[in-house]
Each structure stands twice: as structure tokens, then as C-alpha cells.
Structure 1
């Protein structure tokens, strides 16, 4: 965890999770769970409302300055820079939510979807090549976090 990241309240961080500079995880009204190998990048905000916990799956990338608010994110998914997920939204496994996308309240995104826009819409299905890039990105951040621990 970066020295200026903030983690408050009922937060569970599984193995190999990295929380980067300026990120805020605030579980003051419900709980947050971040799955194994996931990374919460610089200035991202993870927050909850009562009855709206956050569940982030395994090997998920939450990009710089993204907001995840009372949402659920499946495994091996990339949440793009400055994307926003609102209360009750559910993102499937192996998805990409594009930069600046707005996933509205209670919206459900099926597995293998690429989502873009404001409000967000499914625009295509994730290719095998894109799946490999998402997986590689998660692995790169696991290794990068290990390097920071050695500094």
C-alpha cells in the first residue's frame, strides 16, 4: 500500500492486492472486499453506502482516478481511468469499462463485455487478445508492487 493511500473501515484486502498513491478506500457505511491480485491505482476512490458494499474480484485493475461506489466487479476486469461505477451496478468477469465511462445505478454488464460512454453501453465483446492484455496488466502490477516493497 502506498504511504499516502487511505484505507478506512471494514476493508478486506486479499493476497497480492496493491493500493497505489492517493487512492481512498472508505468503508464507513458498509464493507469493501478486494480480491486476490487486484490493483487500485493512483487517486481511485472506492466507497460504499449502507446496504451497498463493494466487491471487487480477483486480478481486477481499477484505473487511475476511477470511482467504484457501491458496485460489484467480476474477476479479470479492467475499470478504465476516470470511469465511474454507481450504486448497485454489476460488472461481469473479463470486462473492460472504458476511460470516463459512467455505469449507472443498478446497471448489469455481462461477462466479456467492452463498455464505453456516458451513460455506458456495451459496444463489443472482449477478444482473446484483449483478455491476454488484461491478464498481463494485472500481473505487471503484482510485480510492480513487489518492487516497491523492496525500496
Structure 2
């Protein structure tokens, strides 16, 4: 686990038969489960957001990805850098999602829209979670100001260039 990661209440990271790797500023939100099997590990890239009640099983999540609330990603999937998986998606085993794709599920079928994601927004949200975790530890609970939100977005633009997304 690299710097500035946050793991929120009820989340389970279970690396009993292989390893789990978290990049910088990854956040795993409430009640999500990250698991492995003896064949495949799980890796989550820098600045990625794992929403509430997500299940990731033995897969690779790229940098600056959003995995939406309640999504399930089964074994040996690869989610490309900057991709956004919308809430409630089921990504079946061995699926490859292209970088910067937006994925939705409609009538049980995945729809993949290439180059439609918003990685700068994902990174800005990740930076908000870094700050939220610091506030949480200091028992400071308040919304971010408009200036703070703009600052997260500007910093995210610089990070996006560094990541070459």
C-alpha cells in the first residue's frame, strides 16, 4: 500500500492466497471487498476510486480509475488507466476494458464507450479523499470550500500530465 491510501469502514482486503497492491492515493470505500485467488493477485493503480459495496476479485485496475458503487469485477479482468465503470456493473472474468473508457450496464449488457471517461475528475476526487481522511482523523467534518475543490481539480490536471493519460 503506497502513500495517502484510505480504506473506509467495513471494507475488506483479503490477501490470503496471493497479494493485493494499492498505488498512491487509492481509496476503498465502505463495505467493499478486494480479494485474490492463488492464480491471480489484485492491483489497483494510483489515484483510483473504489466505490461503496464494490467487489474486485483477482484483477488489475489501472491508474485513475473509478469503479462505481456496487460494481463487481470478476477474476483476471484488466481495467485500463482512466476508465470509469458506472454503478452496478458486472464485469465478467477475463474482460479487458480499454483505457479511458466509460462503461455502463444496460439491460444486462455492458456498453463500452471509448475515450469518454473523465480521468481528471477521478484524480480530483481521489485528492478529496486524501484530504477527507486527514480531516476524519482530526475529527473535522465539513464540506470542502469552492476554492479547495478548484485546487483539487487544478492539481489533478498536473497529475494527469505526469501519468500521461
TM-score relative to the length of structure 1: 0.86
Counterpart for residue 8 of structure 1: none
C-alpha displacement of 1:124: 4.2
Cα distance in 1 for partners of 2:75, 2:25 equals 24
5 Å-filtered alignment, 1:1-151, equals: 13-117=1-105, 118-126=108-116, 130-151=118-139
C-alpha displacement of 1:52: 1.1
Q: Which runs of 5+ in 1 are unaligned?
A: 1-12
Cα distance in 2 for partners of 1:114, 1:125 equals 7
Cα distance in 1 for partners of 2:4, 2:116 equals 25
Larger radius of gyration: 2
Q: Deviations over 1:56-108 (max 9, x none)?
A: 00000000001110010000000000001100000000010010001110000
Which SS does the other structure have where 2:13 is aligned? strand
C-alpha displacement of 1:125: 2.4
Which SS does the other structure have where 1:115 is aligned? strand
C-alpha displacement of 1:126: 2.3
C-alpha displacement of 1:123: 2.9
C-alpha displacement of 1:150: 1.7
Q: Which runs of 5+ in 2 are unaligned?
A: 140-165
TM-score relative to the length of structure 2: 0.79
Higher strand share: 1
**After TM superposition, what 4+ stretches of structure 1 lie above 4 angstroms from structure 2?**
none
Which SS does the other structure have where 1:132 is aligned? helix
Question: Is the 8 Å Cα contact of residues 101 and 112 (structure 2) preserved in structure 1?
Answer: yes
Q: CA RMSD in A?
A: 1.2
C-alpha displacement of 1:121: 3.2
